[in-house]
Amino acid sequence: MTIGSCDLLGERTFIVAELSANHAGRIEIAKETIAAAKEAGADAIKLQTYTADTLTLDCDREDFIIKGGTLWDGRTMYELYQSAYTPWEWHGELFEYAKKIGIEIFSSPFDRSAVDFLENFEPVAYKIASFEITDHALIRYAASKGRPMILSTGIATIGEIQEAVGICRSEGNGQIVLLQCTSAYPAPLEDANLRTIPNLAETFGVAAGFSDHTLGITAPVAAVALGAKMIEKHFILDKSLGGPDADFSLDKEAFAAMVEAVRNAEKLLGKVDYTMTERKRKSRQFARSLYVAEDVKAGEIVTEANVRSVRPGYGMHPRHLPEILGKRFRKDVKKGIPMGWDLIE
């Protein structure tokens, strides 16, 4: 399957910079962030398309106050989302700008109206956020548009993941990416459970990736080593901008370092390959082989003392030593001569 120009069945990881709330309420900063993400090596930029009213109620009852040890404890959900959302009137300009500079762009819709709105811009995919994976109506409606579906699994049970995948497929949409995700901000390393990535791919028959909320760049590299086809990481132009997501976002320098590390990991992974390359062939000079280890006379018996397995690798293969022990040399041979069948009777 492809997302934009990226083939998720290939060897190159699809790296997505999450803009989220990292725009300080200014479209100029949002555009500068998109450009910086492109320069840092991101394949795509991702927005979030919601308003506070499409996500929650303007209510200060206990249920609507954030708690539980998050960065936003004590605020109401409505207040947080109102401060963090990306204005819908920016979307057209942001999509146009991203396409102009050559970076893929898509968004996370949070209700049907957001899907309808985003269809105007022909996004390369839809991303369903972790907390929306139980919203069957949203998943069904987004999947019905026929675009690749990216689903974060941060809060989901395995049964809920199966339901979400099943809904996409029931709409005739098998272009599915499941992202291992820890819905904590920032996420502790010990909660990342990256071994889930290959299990997601195998269990559900989909491409799998990683939506990362840990600090630093170690987790994405480890995820790629485990087979992640997509990496999503929050991106900020400058941490001094502040905002709800700044603490667990990477700036341009750190994001570029992550991209470089991921690309190096891809090179390291390579492919399954047992062929005798030219480089291997040259290195075989340092392999073991059989050499005459002391001066011998014609008629002497081959022993483990006068023929040994040593470096370099220009003599007989060591596997032949048992075959030649006890045979006789047919001529005088000097120490350091590579052993060969022509030397024995």
Residue with tokens 């959900």: 77
Residue type, 241: L
CA–CA separation, 216 and 267 (whole Å): 21
- Phi/psi at 134 (5° precision): -95, 0
Question: Which residues have a Cβ under 8 Å from the Cβ of 240 and sit 6 or more positions away?
Answer: none
CA–CA separation, 312 and 292 (whole Å): 12
Q: What is the pLDDT of residue 71?
A: 78
Q: What is the pLDDT of residue 14?
A: 98
Q: What is the pLDDT of residue 141?
A: 98
Q: What is the pLDDT along the chain (345 residues), one digit of tens a residue?
A: 999 999 998 999 999 999 999 999 999 999 999 999 999 999 999 999 999 999 999 999 999 999 877 778 999 999 999 988 999 999 999 999 999 999 999 999 999 999 999 999 999 999 999 999 999 999 999 999 999 999 999 999 999 999 999 999 999 999 999 999 998 888 999 999 999 999 999 999 999 999 999 999 999 999 999 999 999 999 999 998 988 888 889 999 999 999 999 999 999 999 899 998 898 989 989 999 999 999 999 999 999 999 999 999 999 999 999 999 999 999 999 999 999 999 999
Which is the CATH superfamily of the domain at 10-50+85-269?
A: Aldolase class I (3.20.20.70)
Q: What is the pLDDT of residue 69?
A: 77
CA–CA separation, 181 and 194 (whole Å): 9
Q: What is the pLDDT of residue 194?
A: 97
Q: Where are the domains of the chain?
A: 10-50+85-269, 278-343
What CATH architecture is 278-343?
Alpha-Beta Complex (3.90)
Residue with tokens 């120009």: 5
Q: Alpha helices, DSSP H only, in the chain?
A: 27-40, 52-55, 77-84, 91-101, 112-119, 136-143, 158-170, 196-204, 218-225, 252-269, 278-283, 321-324
Q: What is the pLDDT of residue 184?
A: 82
State the burial class of residue 294 (Cβ atoms within 10 Å of its Cβ: 0-12, 13-18, 19+). middle
Q: What is the pLDDT of residue 72?
A: 83
Nearest to 217 by CA among 40, 61, 337, 11: 40
130, 185, 111, 119 alpha-carbon torsion, rounded to 10°: -90
CA–CA separation, 45 and 98 (whole Å): 8
